[in-house]
């Protein structure tokens, strides 16, 4: 199926797609849209950046009816993802005015209560705050016809599955459910069996492989040279926009300080869950607009965030969870653009590195950074550590500024 007009979407939605500048459906859209328009439940797995949001948003908007409030509920694991889905919903409903209300924690209740009083058609929510509203009686789900459970494996990681079950329990049994999860561990399979009716399975591009537009490599280095190697990578890389991932919030703060103090001229923002919601929103908006060219983030930012045009990703550590590797490097190489992802690897992370390679089913290239004074090259050579004399290399090429 090669164009949107053949998929059965309504006229106003087709016009909005044209306005958004989308020419052809992505593979997941080509499969999910006609299936959802036929009223079928879907269980979908696809790489991030494949157009998953439109794959569920377009057929739902096409099928919505007047005077049922709210008739669509979309559950997202994080506030950022919820806000991103809201943007897309608003984009696609340009010619079919739709009242979309965003419900998430970390902000006051005032605006949300005002929004709820306007009879929303669609609620996009994170589980905790939605349950608060449900217990206060400010949201009722008895008119829900369309339920989207997005990034369910992330909800599992964040401990939201019991909340998700309580929410689904309050939705009518007669509904259409679209369920997306990059991986399908036992608990998620059990949930899927409970919420879905005879679902159509859609899997695009393999659950595990990173997008083939991303060139990725490990940069082995001694533990105590990690920071130096990171700064050298930042300095020598010709990036336009760079995401650096860390495991902990503290590490993100420390690295932000380090990068800011270094010779780089980059404007640096930090994104993690201890940062106030308003500052997180500013950091993301600033990164999207180009005000910040580097963002240092924990995994909260890795899943599904739609930041287009990220040219480079650096993992300061190998992710402990192999699947996070794919999510992190998936921030680049989106929508068929090319991207580079570098992962700094130290001896204590060799097992995690192997786990990542097993998970994606590929050996990841080990690279050495030119002009960097490696203390020893054991991890590079795959031979026992042997000290080598540090020598200063010539200056590497400075990165290009926009
Ligand atoms: P998603 O996987 O939903 O996060 O989407 C990733 C990016 O691809 C977003 O920036 C979308 O706006 C963009 N996108 C989605 N579908 C299409 C399409 N059919 N053509 C061009 N861009 C698209």
214-382 matches 4-204 in CATH topology = yes
Q: For position 284, what pLDDT does the model report?
A: 85
Quote the Cα angle for 310-203-311, to 5°: 10
C-beta 333 within 6 A of ligand 1: no
Q: For position 47, what pLDDT does the model report?
A: 61
Q: For position 388, what pLDDT does the model report?
A: 33
Cβ atoms within 10 Å, residue 17: 24
Q: For ligand 1, what atom is nearest to the CA of residue 308?
A: 10
Q: For position 209, what pLDDT does the model report?
A: 59
pLDDT band at 130 (very low <50, low <70, confident <90, very high): very high
Q: What is the DSSP letter of 81?
A: H
Nearest protein CA to atom 12 of ligand 1, as residue:
51
pLDDT at 136 over 70: yes
> Tell me: the pLDDT tens digits for 231-279?
999 988 888 889 999 988 999 999 999 999 886 778 999 988 888 888 8
C-beta 308 within 6 A of ligand 1: yes
Nearest protein CA to atom 15 of ligand 1, as residue:
51
DSSP H helical ranges for 118-220: 127-136, 152-157, 161-169, 186-195
Q: For position 398, what pLDDT does the model report?
A: 35
Residue 102 φ/ψ, nearest 5 degrees: -100, 130
pLDDT band at 352 (very low <50, low <70, confident <90, very high): very high
Question: What is the crossing angle of helices 161-169 and 127-136, to 10°?
Answer: 40
The residue ranges of every structural domain in the chain are: 4-204, 214-382
Partners of 74 in beta bridges? 124, 148
Q: For position 115, what pLDDT does the model report?
A: 97
Q: For position 383, what pLDDT does the model report?
A: 40
Cα 81 to Cα 304: distance, rounded to the nearest angstrom: 7
Question: In angstroms, what is the span from residue 53 Cα to ligand 1's centroid?
Answer: 7
C-alpha radius of gyration, the chain, whole number? 22
Nearest protein CA to atom 5 of ligand 1, as residue:
51
- 72-75 sheet: strands from edge to edge: 100-103, 122-125, 72-75, 146-149, 176-180, 42-46, 200-204
pLDDT band at 304 (very low <50, low <70, confident <90, very high): low
Q: For position 122, what pLDDT does the model report?
A: 98
Cβ atoms within 10 Å, residue 366: 15
Range in 26-35, 245-254, 332-341 with the lowest mean pLDDT:
332-341
C-beta 51 within 6 A of ligand 1: yes
Q: For ligand 1, what atom is nearest to the CA of residue 53?
A: 3
> Tell me: the pLDDT tens digits for 71-123?
999 999 999 899 999 999 999 999 999 999 999 999 999 999 999 999 999 99
The class level of CATH for 214-382 reads alpha beta
Which whole number is the average pLDDT over 314-335? Answer: 78
> Tell me: the pLDDT tens digits for 175-211?
999 999 877 777 888 999 999 999 999 977 554 556 6
Cα 2 to Cα 27: distance, rounded to the nearest angstrom: 9
**Higher-scoring residue by pLDDT: 308, 171:** 171
Q: Positive or negative, the Cα torsion across 90, 92, 96, 98?
A: negative
pLDDT band at 380 (very low <50, low <70, confident <90, very high): low
C-beta 334 within 6 A of ligand 1: yes
The structure's pTM equals 0.66
Nearest protein CA to atom 11 of ligand 1, as residue:
51
Which whole number is the average pLDDT over 205-223? Answer: 74
Highest mean pLDDT among 230-239, 292-301, 389-398: 230-239
**Higher-scoring residue by pLDDT: 401, 272:** 272
Pocket test residue of 335, 336, 337 for ligand 1, highest count of atoms within 8 A of CB: 335
Q: For position 320, what pLDDT does the model report?
A: 86
4-204, CATH topology level: Rossmann fold (3.40.50)
C-beta 25 within 6 A of ligand 1: yes
Q: For position 384, what pLDDT does the model report?
A: 39
């Amino acid at each position: 199926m090669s164009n949107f007009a053949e998929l059965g979407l309504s006229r106003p939605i087709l016009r909005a797609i044209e306005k958004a500048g989308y020419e052809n459906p992505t593979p997941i859209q080509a499969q999910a849209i006609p299936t959802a328009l036929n009223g079928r439940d879907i269980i979908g797995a696809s790489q991030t950046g494949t157009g998953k949001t439109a794959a569920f948003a377009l057929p739902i908007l096409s099928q919505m009816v007047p005077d049922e409030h709210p008739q669509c509920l979309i559950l997202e694991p994080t506030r950022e993802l919820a806000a991103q889905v809201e943007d897309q919903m608003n984009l696609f409903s340009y010619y079919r005015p739709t009242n979309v209300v965003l419900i998430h924690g970390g902000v006051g209740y005032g605006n949300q209560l005002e929004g709820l009083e306007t009879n929303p058609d669609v609620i996009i929510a994170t589980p905790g705050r939605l349950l608060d509203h449900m217990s206060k009686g400010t949201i009722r789900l008895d008119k829900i016809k369309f339920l989207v459970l997005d990034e369910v494996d992330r909800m599992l990681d964040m401990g939201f599955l019991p909340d998700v079950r309580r929410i689904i329990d309050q939705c009518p049994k007669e509904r259409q459910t679209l369920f997306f999860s990059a991986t399908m561990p036992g608990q998620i399979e059990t949930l899927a069996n409970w919420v879905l009716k005879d679902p159509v399975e859609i899997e695009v591009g393999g659950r595990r492989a990173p997008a083939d537009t991303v060139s990725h490599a490990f940069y082995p280095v001694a533990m105590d040279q990690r920071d130096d190697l990171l700064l050298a990578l930042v300095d020598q890389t010709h990036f336009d926009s760079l995401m650096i991932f860390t495991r902990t919030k503290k590490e993100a703060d420390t690295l932000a300080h380090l990068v800011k103090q270094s010779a780089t001229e980059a404007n640096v923002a930090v994104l993690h869950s201890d940062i106030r919601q308003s500052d997180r929103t500013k950091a993301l908006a600033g990164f999207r607009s180009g005000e910040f060219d580097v963002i240092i983030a924990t995994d909260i930012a890795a899943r599904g965030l739609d930041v287009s045009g990220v040219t480079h990703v650096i993992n300061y550590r190998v992710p402990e969870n192999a699947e996070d590797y794919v999510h992190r490097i998936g921030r680049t190489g989106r929508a068929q653009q090319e991207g580079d992802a570098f992962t700094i690897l130290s001896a204590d992370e060799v097992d995690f590195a192997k786990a990542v390679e097993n998970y994606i089913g590929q050996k990841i290239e080990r690279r050495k950074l030119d002009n960097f004074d490696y203390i020893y090259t054991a991890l590079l050579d795959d031979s026992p550590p042997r000290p080598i004399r540090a020598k200063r290399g010539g200056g590497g090429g400075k990165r290009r500024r926009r």
